[in-house]
């Protein structure tokens, strides 16, 4: 089955420089690459909640480019540096973007992310 790449304008340089699509569509599924909550300067905010919010907003931009929204998410995986230190804050921010019926979720603790100082990376699968 062929795939279509989904690349918001703001992510064109990532696509060209790092050779990965922010998302691909295959059939009715949209599979999104991980999103880290960095600002326009490429740096992670000092506040974990601000970082988590930026990450979810980034997920939303990719979904919007695909013609979808947060309600289309069927599964998401989050990768956390300091999982137990920030999980409650992450869940509180997450609830600003997602609501019942809740998608499937796996939270995984890791030692580092691709952006220095990053605490979370969010990867989603959505269905049209």
Q: Domain holding 54: CATH number?
A: 3.30.1330.40
Structural domain tally of the chain?
A: 1
Instruction: Give SS3 for 94.
Output: helix
Helix, strand, coil fractions of the chain, as percent rounded to 5: 35, 25, 40
Q: With contact defined as beta carbons under 8 Å apart, do 127 and 30 qualify?
A: yes
Taking the C-alpha atoms of residue 106 and residue 104, their distance in angstroms, rounded to an integer, is 7
Q: Could you read off the pLDDT tens digit of each residue along the chain, which spans 128 residues?
A: 678 999 998 888 888 998 999 999 999 999 999 999 998 888 899 999 999 999 999 999 999 999 999 999 999 999 999 999 999 999 999 999 999 999 999 999 999 999 999 999 999 999 99
Given this model, what pLDDT does residue 11 score? 86
Q: What is the DSSP code string of 64-117?
A: HHTT--GGGEEEEEEEETTHHHHHHHHHHHHTTT--SSPPEEEEEE-S--SSTT
Taking the C-alpha atoms of residue 75 and residue 77, their distance in angstroms, rounded to an integer, is 7
Residue that the structure tokens 């809740």 belong to: 102
Strand pairing class (73-80; 104-109):
parallel
Taking the C-alpha atoms of residue 71 and residue 74, their distance in angstroms, rounded to an integer, is 8
Domain of residue 32, residue span: 4-127
């Amino acid at each position: 089955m062929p795939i279509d790449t989904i690349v918001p304008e703001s992510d064109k340089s990532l696509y060209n420089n790092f050779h990965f699509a922010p998302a691909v569509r295959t059939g009715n599924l949209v599979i999104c690459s991980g999103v880290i909550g960095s600002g326009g300067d490429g740096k992670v905010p000092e506040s974990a909640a601000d970082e988590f919010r930026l990450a979810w907003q980034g997920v939303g931009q990719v979904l919007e480019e695909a013609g979808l929204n947060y309600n289309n998410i069927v599964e998401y995986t989050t990768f956390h540096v300091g999982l137990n230190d920030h999980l409650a804050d992450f869940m509180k921010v997450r609830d600003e973007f997602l609501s019942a019926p809740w998608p499937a979720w796996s939270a995984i603790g890791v030692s580092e992310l691709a952006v220095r100082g990053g605490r979370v990376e969010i990867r989603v699968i959505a269905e049209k």
